[in-house]
Amino acid sequence: MSKKYYGVIPPIITPVNENEDVDEKGYRNLLEHCIQGGLHGIFVAGSNGETMALTQKERNNAIRITLDQAKGRVPVMAGVMDSSTRRVIDNIKALEQMGGTCAVITSIFYARHTSQDETIRHFEKISKETNIDLMIYNIPMFTGLKLEPKTIFKIAEFDHVVGLKDSSGDFKNFMQCLSHFKGTDFCVLQGTTAYAMPSMLLGADGFVPSIAPLFTELFVNAYEAGKKGDVDLAMKYDLLLRETSQILGMTKNATSANKFALSQLGFTDKRVIYPQDSILPEEEKPIIQKIQSINRNFAQLKKSL
């Protein structure tokens, strides 16, 4: 087997300046920090990257910068999700022109969903219009449609469809996918951090945690423990990963919490795109304290090994 996409692949934030254009310098520094920290890939222009809030120009700019900074050192998965098949294909053509090799695709959204079949048709048409890798992105909280395992199995039969990022939070369905694709080249990635360690122990190829850039060593070590099937150690890491997820719930807007937390690295601003709720001044100190607590607990775990 030859898995292209595995390990810890963060859905990266998009740092922006006061004009809501990509902060290229800060973003490049953040990307380099992720790569040097051992993360296994980058998912750009996802929901955590505020992709639908960016202008199309700045979405493409974020993708271009990511591809250029990565320079093939790690795979780059680029979000091309949109509200119709034609719009997604246009986004893929732009990605191809930038040298992108992997497009992440959801069901269409904003329109009313009538069936699972519409997403099958969506991928079937797209697969005939490109030769780059296609990744199924199951995120019903934003699309309004939870893909059933049988839908995913059907889509996976189309040319160029290489993997699944599942952010449905439905562990039973995720397990069906793990069983179905076991022993194949198809990549199965867990998109819900709370399920990361159980998923790894049961055969997932990796996971996609938004806060990973802040704790690169922690997340890489957790992945390695899960990959090795070390249940006791993986469960110790599971406790720490759950702590990191708490950060996202410490403000009204999880993106605001994530951007503020990552701003503590010193590369990027905490700014979110208008009109989202920003972090409140009184919410900042508890997040800093939580980060410090996680780092202390991780240091203690390393000493005990």
- What pLDDT is stored for residue 2 in this prediction? 78
Query: Does a structural domain hold residue 39?
Result: yes
- Residue 265: inside a domain, yes or no? no
Mean pLDDT of all residues in 293-305: 97
pLDDT above 70 (res 297):
yes
State mean pLDDT over 215-242.
98
How large is the C-alpha radius of gyration of the chain? 18
Taking only the tens place, the pLDDT of each residue in 171-183 is 999 999 999 999 9
Q: Residues 117, 120, 124, 129: what is their CA dihedral angle, to the nearest 10 degrees?
A: 110
Q: Quick check: is 300 in a domain?
A: no
Q: Does 242 map to a domain?
A: no
Report if residue 1 sits inside a domain.
Answer: no
Q: Is residue 223 part of a domain?
A: yes
Q: How many domains does the chain have?
A: 1
Local confidence band at 27 (pLDDT 50, 70, 90 cut-offs): very high
Looking at residues 226-235, what average pLDDT do you find? 98
- pLDDT per residue as tens digits for the range 142-156: 999 999 999 999 999
| CB count in 10 Å sphere of residue 136 | 26
Closest CA to 290 of 255, 251, 238: 251
Give residue 80's domain range: 7-228
Mean per-residue pLDDT, 27-43? 98
- φ and ψ of 196, to 5 deg: -60, -50
CATH code of the domain covering residue 70 = 3.20.20.70
Give Cα separations from 110 to 82, 140, 141, 143, 285 (angstroms). Answer: 9, 12, 12, 7, 37
Q: Across the strands, what pairs with 134?
A: 103, 161
Is pLDDT above 90 for 1?
no
Q: Judge whether 179 lies within some domain.
A: yes
Mean pLDDT of 121-146: 98
Q: Is residue 274 part of a domain?
A: no
Residue 171 has a pLDDT of: 98
- Mean of pLDDT values over 225-232: 98
Nearest to 200 by CA among 212, 188, 210: 188
Question: Model confidence over 255-284: pLDDT tens digits?
Answer: 999 999 999 999 999 999 999 999 999 999
Supply the mean pLDDT for the chain. 97
Rounded distance between C-alpha atoms, residue 145 and residue 168, angstroms: 10
